Amino acid sequence: MNKVKITIVGAGYVGMSLAVLLAKHHEIKVLDIDKEKVQMINAKKSPLADKDIKEAFKKEDLNLFATADSLDAFVEADYIIIATPTHFEEDTNSFDSTSVETVIDIAMKENKKALIVIKSTVGIGFTESQASKHKTERIIFSPEFLREGKALHDNLNPSRLVIGGSENKLTISFSDIMKEAAINKEFDTLFMSYREAESVKLFSNTYLAMRVAFFNELDSFSMQNDMDSLNIIHGVSSDSRIGNYYNNPSFGYGGYCLPKDTKQLLADFKDTPQSLIKSIIESNEIRKQFISKKIQDIKANTIGIYRLIMKDGSDNFRASSVLSIIDSLKENGLEIVIYEPIINSSSYQEIPVIKELNSFIRTADIIIANRVTDELSEVKHKTFTRDIFNSDL
């Protein structure tokens, strides 16, 4: 395939995994307002903690540059991929897609030929409204299905490629570009309407949230009734219809996607009868309250929080379940310390942050860990976790 010029807007996990994926075959420009990220990319350093992306920067010959200048990024691009973050706003009960809309406005003004691919998660109907606003078929929606810390791996090994938009020369060409870059090329490209593609994204993440909530409620029941969660999970998951995966209990789902996507889907159900979608969100809140109560029942003098991030290999703790637990513990006047190396300051929300692991372990009477690593292998006796499948480290 001939080399093309692709601009990717946003240097987060989605944007950077796509940039590294495609830069082996095409000329890539990453546009981001964060000048520090721009400098790091141009210095051939990953701006993210993702292990695979870091390795690619070190070992691969990537045709990849970054800029903060939208004119420089857009004018000559054959494809413009938008991967800016969208947040769910409780006040409006919807995503704030302002960043996506702004990029589309500028891109349509500066470039009259490029296919504009929305990778940011948006509400159902957003892409259709943008295509109608600009009177064009050059805007499509193509969702990502990535795990934190595994974004590049998942782009190299996609489960499917979903395209919301017309099946035409431009969109088929985009599909070919994505297939060429993948290691596993045995995946389907599914063309559908804008609204259907947006629905695929929200329903996929809501199903994953439901699965997390289900196994967390199983674990809560086991704890409350003095049973071994692992035995029950193995018994349940041995049924091939259920499967032995995505079944490790936690303090609750969190991170970039699941909390906001479940809320957005619930909002989009406004004219449709439902109870399940609402229950998933409520279940997650109940689980966090249940875990907080169990921690308080231990009656420790100093509670140590081991990492705010959702899991090892991530540098994100946005909407992390442990944050809600911290809030609950604070409300009850408990003494807390935090171990989180990615925090530069000496405190977080007025809670001391201890940067040296051994000092943290000595200070904490009990260690609370949503996900455990081998760093805690010597202090299992005072570690509280529901991370069943890693608890033997």
Catalytic residues: 257
12 vs 87: CA distance, rounded Å: 14
**To which H or E segment does residue 224 belong?**
helix 194-224
392 vs 197: CA distance, rounded Å: 41
351 vs 90: CA distance, rounded Å: 26
160 vs 38: CA distance, rounded Å: 30
Question: At 192, is the secondary structure helix, strand, or coil?
Answer: strand
Chain centroid to Cα 151, Å, comes to 9
Under 8 Å between Cβ of 167 and 139: no
Task: Give the CA dihedral 101, 102, 107, 108, nearest 10 degrees.
Answer: 60
- Report residue 60: phi and psi, to 5°: -95, 150
